[in-house]
Amino acid sequence: MGSAPARHDPGWQHRARARNLASILELKSLQDLSYAAEFDATVTIDAMENVPPDDWPTVLANLRRAVRPGGVLYLTVEEASDQRIGHAFEALTARGLPAVRGEIIEGDVAGYHYYPGRDRVMGWFEAAGLDVIDEDYSAEEDWGYRHFLLRAPQ
């Protein structure tokens, strides 16, 4: 399953420039980032749940490459209850869809969400050479956010 295409609002760059939010604004997918050691830090909020499992290593490598050595990355990882994930997986496979456990495409997920779970995310961080500096969790009803502060190698 792929990620849903991004909605393009042609006026966002104009509005951001008018408010002096940034001097350079580009619309790119996390999978297509090509920056190399250009930033002290990156912030990825409310985005990783839209990244399919096969693309996580690429996205993490891109974010790691974008920061200078020793730079930091902050990202949120949305989590859903095991019950919700299990129900979605059963429903998708019952329809004959090639689902991966953790993918949810119906309900209030705006098309596609992938919930890998903390253990899988930690494995991807380790494989990408990212060290966890700090971690927190904020819970809602049957979902929540894991907040990660990571450091790229020196």
DSSP string, 80-119: E-HHHHHHHHHHHHHTT----TTEE-SSSSTT-EE---HH
Q: What pLDDT score does 7 carry?
A: 53
Task: Give the whole-angstrom CA distance, residue 43 versus residue 14.
Answer: 22
Total count of domains within the chain: 1
Task: Give the whole-angstrom CA distance, residue 141 versus residue 9.
Answer: 31
Q: What pLDDT score does 110 carry?
A: 76
Q: By mean pLDDT, which of 26-40, 73-87, 104-118, 123-137 is the weakest?
A: 104-118
Q: Give a yes or no: residue 59 inside a domain.
A: yes
Q: Give a yes or no: residue 69 inside a domain.
A: yes
DSSP element (H, E) containing 123: helix 118-127
Q: Give a yes or no: residue 37 inside a domain.
A: yes
Provide the residue range defining the domain that includes 19.
12-151
What CATH number is given to the structural domain containing 78?
Answer: 3.40.50.150
DSSP element (H, E) containing 120: helix 118-127
Residues 133-152 have pLDDT tens digits of: 999 999 988 789 999 999 99
Minimal CA–CA distance to 141: which of 81, 75, 77?
Answer: 81
Task: Give the whole-angstrom CA distance, residue 131 versus residue 150.
Answer: 5
C-alpha 151, offset from chain centre: 16
Minimal CA–CA distance to 76: which of 19, 128, 25, 144?
Answer: 144
Residues 48-86 have pLDDT tens digits of: 999 999 999 999 999 999 999 999 999 999 999 999 999
